[in-house]
């Protein structure tokens, strides 16, 4: 049975999925405070190494390979992870915004996001594709290819003494929902303006993420109240072909050493034809 997924009703990963993700050790940067995020190449069976340039993170995508976005909650409270791929929400298929639905992760738990969510039991696998074959391009949204985003929200703690003070009381659900939507829209507009002013000119992306084979991936719906209407942390990982990252200077070109010698027109040793 399929259930409607609303902005206030979010997704929690089923136990089987958490255990499957936990079986494979994570190899990621330890710079993230709330969660650790990596991109796992399912076809190659390895976590992709992260390269850094000017504060941005990059991984090498192999065209045709399936991959997963893996997130580990490093905090002591539940987290909501709103995941976008190529500017598209991986749960709802909407153009991504932090105020949308995502995955709820228990303290110390894992989530293994292997594809576009189709319903509460199935996903369509992520795979590195040509830009024209990406899900975003095929649905008319080709402007943000080559980036994976995770917006993290902490769960609101219940104040036990809130009833003593009128000012400490939580807002009504309707007001909270409106505040979340307004703040998220304001934050998104601010980020867009900042990116336009400061981001360097980049070449057209050479990879996107396709809408692959269907897989069984059960989840359940849970309630989650955000501690803040704005993300507590945002993580972005860009993916590209190796040759593109080398051309961008993200991955250093291999260097070869040559002896300082003059070319010899007859480099062979003088002699006669040897026996076979």
What residue ranges do the domains of the chain occupy?
9-157+208-248
Helix, strand, coil percentages in the chain from 3-state DSSP, rounded to 5: 20, 35, 45
Residue 201 in this model has a pLDDT that exceeds 50:
no
Q: Where are the alpha helices (DSSP H) in 55-208?
A: 135-138, 173-198
Please state the rounded mean pLDDT for residues 93-112.
95
CB atoms < 10 A from the CB of 157, how many?
Answer: 9
Task: Determine the distance from the C-alpha atom of residue 77 to the mean position of all C-alpha atoms in its chain, rounded to a whole number.
Answer: 21
Per-residue pLDDT, 33: 86
Q: Cα separation of 39 and 105, whole Å?
A: 17
What sign does the CA torsion over 19, 23, 24, 29 have?
A: positive
Task: Determine the distance from the C-alpha atom of residue 27 to the mean position of all C-alpha atoms in its chain, rounded to a whole number.
Answer: 15
Residue 259 in this model has a pLDDT that exceeds 80:
no
Please state the rounded mean pLDDT for residues 12-18.
37
Q: Cα separation of 245 and 221, whole Å?
A: 39
- Which one has a higher pLDDT value, 276 or 17? 276
Residue 162 in this model has a pLDDT that exceeds 60:
no
Per-residue pLDDT, 167: 40
- Which one has a higher pLDDT value, 186 or 86? 86
Pairing mode, if any, of strands 147-154 and 103-105?
unpaired
pLDDT grade for 139, boundaries at 50, 70 and 90:
very high
């Amino acid at each position: 049975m399929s259930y409607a997924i609303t902005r206030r009703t979010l997704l929690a990963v089923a136990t089987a999925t958490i255990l499957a993700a936990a079986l494979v050790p994570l190899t990621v940067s330890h710079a993230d405070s709330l969660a650790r995020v990596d991109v796992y190449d399912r076809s190659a069976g390895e976590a992709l190494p992260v390269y850094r340039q000017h504060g941005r993170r990059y991984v090498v995508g192999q065209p045709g390979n399936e991959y997963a976005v893996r997130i580990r909650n490093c905090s002591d409270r539940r987290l909501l992870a709103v995941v976008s791929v190529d500017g598209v929400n991986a749960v709802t298929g909407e153009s991504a915004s932090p105020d949308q639905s995502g995955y709820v992760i228990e303290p110390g738990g894992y989530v293994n996001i292997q594809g576009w969510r189709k319903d509460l039991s199935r996903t369509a696998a992520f795979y590195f594709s040509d830009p024209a074959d990406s899900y975003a391009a095929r649905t008319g949204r080709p402007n943000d290819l080559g980036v994976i985003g995770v917006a993290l929200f902490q769960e609101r703690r219940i104040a036990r003494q809130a009833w003593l003070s009128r000012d400490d009381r939580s807002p009504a659900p309707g007001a909270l929902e409106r505040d979340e939507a307004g703040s998220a829209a304001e934050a998104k507009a601010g980020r867009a303006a900042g990116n336009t002013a400061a981001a360097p000119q980049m070449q057209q992306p050479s990879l996107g993420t396709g809408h692959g084979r269907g897989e069984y991936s059960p989840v359940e719906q849970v309630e989650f109240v955000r501690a803040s209407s704005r993300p507590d942390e945002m993580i972005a990982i860009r993916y590209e072909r190796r040759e593109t990252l080398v051309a961008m200077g993200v991955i250093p070109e291999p260097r070869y050493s040559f002896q300082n010698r003059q070319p010899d027109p007859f480099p062979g040793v003088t002699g006669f034809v040897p026996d076979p």
